Amino acid sequence: MITAQQMRAARALLGIDQKRLAEMSGVSLPTIQRMESSGGRVRGVVETLTKVVEALDAAGVELIGENAPSTGSGRGVRLKESTRSSDA
């Protein structure tokens, strides 16, 4: 659904900290911290993940799934899969 890297990048795009994301989504700060410290896909209660994704969406961030086209028209960034493997 969402990766820890996407969460951190989304916050950076919005210029907000973890506390503000927690407030926007109605999720506790420790939960946001735990979600962002996980490796790869964020695991947790579906309802909690949905709240975070909806808060980011409402703030104007489009989360793009792997191999999914972007439907937005604004600026953005996307991590290339090959970039990760070539940096290793």
Q: Report the pLDDT value the prediction gives residue 41, as an integer from 0 to 100.
A: 85
79 within some domain: no
Helix H segments across the chain?
A: 4-14, 18-25, 29-37, 46-58, 81-87
Distance from C-alpha of 42 to C-alpha of 6, rounded to nearest angstrom: 10
Q: What is the CATH number of the domain that holds 41?
A: 1.10.260.40
Which residue is it, tokens 């792997």?
Answer: 66
- Domain coverage including residue 36: 4-58
83 domain residue, yes or no: no
Q: Is residue 66 part of a domain?
A: no
Give residue 85's pLDDT: 47
What is the model's pLDDT at position 44? Answer: 81
Task: Look at the chain and report how many structural domains it folds into.
Answer: 1
Beta bridge partners of 41: 3
Could you say which residues of the chain have pLDDT below 50? 85-88
pTM: 0.81
What is the per-residue pLDDT for 86?
Answer: 45
